[in-house]
Amino acid sequence: MQVSALHLYPVKSLRGGPVPRADVERAGLRGDRRWMVVDEAGSVLSARDLPAMLAVTARTGPSGALDLTATGRAGLHVEPPRGGPVVAVQLSRLATAVGAGEPADGWLSDVLGRRAHLVWLDDPGRRTVSAGHGGRPGDVLSLADTGPLLLTSTASLRRLDRWVDAGYAERYARCGAAAGSRPAPLDMERFRPNVVVDGDLEPFVEDTWQTVRIGTTDFRVSELCDRCALVTLDPQTQVRGQEPLRTLAKHRRWDGRTWFGVRLVPEGTGSLRIGDPVLPGPGTVRP
């Protein structure tokens, strides 16, 4: 097994992009989810409710600065607002972040069609991984939902694609034209993973891992990843559909939720590169 893709999502719920390598910090990959967008009350804005967020792409450089782009608009460069205004935010285990300022707020507000504020997490050590999501003392977290990194596998995605296609064939046989057009293969971008693994592995075998070494860096699997409605949005078009949640609910539903991918906590620091070997540790984790 080896790493086939690496992705950074510098701003929570905006589009990110692939990278050839990434540095591993205790809170996740350097540059991943250090920023987020909030409303006037400090509540986090999500593409689940505001699909236009996926029309904005965020990329980050070595300094942590952002480059924001959206079709038909001039891009925006944003430096980390060190020493900027403190903004109250409503995010689990985090009370405040640092505001990026009016140029960024105005640009995002215009693109999203509603008032929005860009904020930055100055110190990821201020936020911890919840014990309810597999956190242990000393585990810290960026602005990601519950775990520092998300890992998926192409084997699992291919199995999911086959399930989706089989479901379409079943509906077509039952309903004919009412079944709609044949679904295209799912893009892994829907699941927003940091690390994608390929090679000689069974679909969903990552569910059973307790630990995994990627390159020379060790990780602990903190939990499986439950999926929300965000995965039903096509990241290219921002059009919402029923897949893959409909199919996951048929094949991968327990405890009232659907599952795809695993969350990782770094056991140290290091770096990851495409092509790095992936070696699971002993033991199993049962959903």
pLDDT digits (tens, 9 = 90+) for 14-55: 999 999 999 999 999 999 999 999 999 999 999 999 999 999
SS3 at position 235: coil
Question: Which of the residues in the chain have pLDDT under 50?
Answer: none
- Asked whether residue 117 is assigned to any structural domain, the reply reads yes
Q: In terms of domains, do 168 and 221 share one?
A: yes
d(CA 7, CA 177) in angstroms, rounded, equals 38
- Asked whether residue 170 is assigned to any structural domain, the reply reads yes
The predicted structure's pLDDT at residue 215: 97
Q: Of 220, 222, 215, whose CA–CA distance to 21 is shortest?
A: 215
- Asked whether residue 213 is assigned to any structural domain, the reply reads yes
Residue 281, both tokens: 């540790």
Domain end marker among 62, 91, 124: 124
Q: In terms of domains, do 20 and 110 share one?
A: yes
Compute how many other C-beta atoms are within 10 angstroms of the C-beta atom of residue 217: 18
Q: In terms of domains, do 105 and 157 share one?
A: no
Residue 28, both tokens: 């996740």
Domain residue limits at 215:
149-280
Q: In terms of domains, do 225 and 264 share one?
A: yes
User: Taken in order 66, 214, 230, 235, is the CA torsion positive or negative?
Assistant: positive
The predicted structure's pLDDT at residue 193: 98
d(CA 24, CA 172) in angstroms, rounded, equals 46
Q: In terms of domains, do 171 and 102 share one?
A: no
d(CA 44, CA 268) in angstroms, rounded, equals 29
The predicted structure's pLDDT at residue 171: 81
d(CA 149, CA 168) in angstroms, rounded, equals 32
* Residue tagged 């630990």 (tokens): 211
Q: In terms of domains, do 173 and 96 share one?
A: no
d(CA 84, CA 100) in angstroms, rounded, equals 7
- Asked whether residue 97 is assigned to any structural domain, the reply reads yes
Q: Of 73, 65, 83, whose CA–CA distance to 107 is shortest?
A: 73
The total number of structural domains in the chain stands at 2
Residue 222, both tokens: 């903190």
d(CA 43, CA 99) in angstroms, rounded, equals 14
Q: In terms of domains, do 114 and 160 share one?
A: no
Q: In terms of domains, do 117 and 222 share one?
A: no
d(CA 134, CA 248) in angstroms, rounded, equals 23
The predicted structure's pLDDT at residue 68: 98
The predicted structure's pLDDT at residue 249: 97
- Asked whether residue 238 is assigned to any structural domain, the reply reads yes
List, in order, residues 6 or more apart from 52 with CB less than 8 Å away: 111, 112, 113, 238
Q: In terms of domains, do 81 and 192 share one?
A: no
- Asked whether residue 144 is assigned to any structural domain, the reply reads no
Q: In terms of domains, do 72 and 30 share one?
A: yes
Residue 98, both tokens: 């640092």
Domain end marker among 108, 124, 140: 124
d(CA 158, CA 170) in angstroms, rounded, equals 18
- Asked whether residue 196 is assigned to any structural domain, the reply reads yes
- Asked whether residue 73 is assigned to any structural domain, the reply reads yes
Q: Cis check for the bond before 183: say yes or no (omega within 30 of 0).
A: no
Alpha helices in 183-260 (DSSP H): 245-251
